[in-house]
Amino acid sequence: MSKSLTLRNFTNSPAVLMGVLLSFLEVKWLIEKKVEYKPLSVKTLLTSIKNISELTVDLAYSAVLFNDAELREEVLELEEYVDYLIYLLFMSASFAVRDKEDAERMAGIMKLAMAANRISDAAGDIASTIVRGEGLRILAHAFSKTEERIMRVVISKGSPLCNKRIDSLRGQLGVDVIVIRRRGRLLINPKESAKLIAGDAVIIRGTDKSVQEFKKIAEENVDEK
C-alpha cells in the first residue's frame, strides 16, 4: 500500500495535477460565494473568457475617461463573471481529463484562461481608478481612440429602438452594439440580426455625438406622448 503513495505516483495523478493548478487560481471569489455548476464545453468557456477579458479593457479605459459609474459597475461585474467562467472551465477541464497527457493538455488551456483572467482583473483596477484635473487631460490624450466613445444605455419601455435590428442601428445612428445584457444573460458581440427589447442594457460604441443621440432615443417613451 505504501508503495503506491510514492511521490512519483502522486504527481502522475491527473486529479493531483489539476489540484495543483487550482491552488494557483487565486479565485478568492470561489471561497466567498456559492457557485452553481453549469455544463459548458471547454471551447465555449475559453472563447467567452478571452472575449470578455478583452472587452473589459476597452470598457475600463472609457469608464475612467468619462468618469462613467455605470460602465465602471459593468466592468466590475464582468470581471466577476470571468472568475465564474474560470471556475466552470476548471470543472469542465477536470471532467475531460482521463490520463497524464489529457492533464498536460488541459494545463495549457488553464494557464491561458488564468492569464486572460489577470487581464480582466487589471481592467477592474483601471475602471476603479479616479483621475481628475491635469491627470485627466493627460489621460484623454493617452486613451482616446479617434474620438471613439463607449457608453452603457438601458432601452426604456416604449422607446423607438425596441424591436430594431442591431445592423439597422449602425446604418441609421452610426452606433455599434457590442454587448447586450438581457435578464441577467450576457450577449457579447451579438448577431447582426439580433433585435433590441425593452429593459435591455446595452453597451454601445461610436462617436460622442452618435452615442449621445442613441441614448436620447433609448430613453424616449413614445407611448407616453
The contacts of residue 45 (CB under 8 Å, 6+ apart) are 85, 88, 89, 92, 113
Q: How far is the CB of 26 from a copy of itself (least distance, A)?
A: 13
Among residues 121 and 213, whose Cβ is nearest to a copy of itself? 121
Q: How many CB atoms lie within 10 A of CB 66?
A: 15
Residue 85 CA to residue 55 CA, distance in Å, equals 15
Stretch that binds a copy of itself, among 70-78, 124-132, 191-199, 214-222 (CB under 8 A): 124-132
Is the distance from CB of 218 to CB of 155 less than 8 angstroms? Answer: yes
Q: Is 25 in the site for a copy of itself (CB under 8 A)?
A: no
Q: What is the closest distance, in whole angstroms, from the C-beta atom of residue 169 to a copy of itself in the complex? A: 21
Dist CA 157 CA 143 (whole Å): 34
The 92-121 site mask, x for binding a copy of itself (CB under 8 A), equals -------------xx-xx-xx-xxx-xx-x
- By the rule CB under 8 A, 24 interacts with a copy of itself: no
- Provide, rounded to whole angstroms, the least separation between the CB of residue 162 and a copy of itself: 31
